[in-house]
């Protein structure tokens, strides 16, 4: 379980305990059903913040998915932040049922980090990538720069990013988490071969989404 979920789980546990005390002498009805409902909520919170172990595939030059979810689009765009020129953007939508821990797509050194507040439009809307709350991580790899952008969605209200400028990451390392529904954009150099297409399901840290050129 991701550590960010522990405060939520603790609150649920307190609510369940309080509901049990309240329902202890209440007989059948709403008082007896409330603890069960809160227990289900606690189980959902624990499940939502699950953080399964993942192993990046072997092989040089493979770029793994930074998130669980479904590929919304693959398209050429202008370079982002410390990426000059153009880039290929792979957009992944995370539903509330997906694992919400993000992972490094490739090993390298973190050269850029920025956070920007914003709105909370549904993450699947195209304009969400430019106006929603977001955090951007730029990684310089041996093969070239990549950018991972965490974008909050309609329900998400908190983006957590672990690495900072000057740190290093390995492919598949945990790099952050977005709470309750979101989107992740991956930017890679245009000459890299993308290995996924729109509508495809991907798993963070495991699914190969691109391969470096050469």
In order along its 214 residues, the chain shows pLDDT tens digits of 777 777 777 887 888 888 878 777 766 667 778 878 888 888 887 777 788 898 888 877 899 999 999 999 999 998 776 788 899 999 999 988 888 899 999 999 999 999 988 777 766 677 777 778 899 999 999 999 999 999 987 665 678 899 999 999 999 999 998 876 689 999 999 999 999 999 999 999 999 999 998 7
**Whole-model pTM over 0.75:** yes
For residue 6, what is the enclosing H or E element? Answer: helix 6-23
CA-closest candidate to residue 89, choices 138, 146, 163: 146
The CA distance from 139 to 176, in Å, is 14
- Three-state secondary structure along 118-184? CECCCCCCCCHHHHECEEEEEEEECCEEEEEEEEECCCCCCEEECCCCCCEECCCCEEEEECCCEEE
User: Quick one: pLDDT at residue 22?
Assistant: 79
Residue 8 main-chain phi, psi, to 5 deg: -65, -40
Of 32, 73, 130, 182, catalytic: 182
Whether residue 73 lies in the annotated active site: no
- Determine the number of helices (DSSP H) and then strands (DSSP E) in the chain: 3, 14
Tokens 């709403």 belong to residue: 30
CB-count exposure of residue 164 (10 Å: 0-12, 13-18, 19+): exposed
Alpha carbon dihedral 86, 160, 94, 36, in 10-degree steps, equals 180
């Amino acid at each position: 379980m991701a550590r960010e979920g522990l405060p939520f789980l603790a609150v649920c546990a307190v609510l369940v305990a309080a509901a049990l005390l309240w329902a202890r002498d209440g007989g059948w009805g709403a008082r007896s059903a409330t603890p069960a409902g809160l227990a289900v909520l606690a189980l959902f919170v624990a499940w939502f913040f699950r953080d399964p172990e993942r192993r990046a595939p072997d092989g040089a030059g493979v770029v793994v998915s930074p998130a669980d979810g479904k590929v919304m689009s693959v398209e050429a765009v202008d370079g982002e932040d410390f990426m000059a020129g153009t880039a290929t953007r792979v957009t992944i939508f995370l539903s509330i049922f997906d694992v919400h821990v993000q992972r490094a797509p490739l090993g390298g050194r973190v050269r850029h980090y920025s956070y920007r507040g914003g709105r909370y439009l549904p993450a699947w809307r195209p304009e969400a990538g430019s106006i929603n709350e977001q955090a951007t991580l730029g990684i310089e790899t041996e093969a070239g720069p990549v950018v991972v952008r965490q974008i909050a969605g309609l329900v998400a209200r908190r983006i957590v990013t672990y690495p900072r400028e000057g740190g290093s990451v390995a492919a598949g390392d945990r790099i952050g988490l977005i709470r309750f529904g979101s989107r992740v954009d991956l930017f890679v150099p245009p000459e890299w071969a993308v290995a996924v297409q729109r509508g495809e399901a991907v798993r963070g840290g495991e699914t190969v989404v691109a391969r470096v050129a050469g």
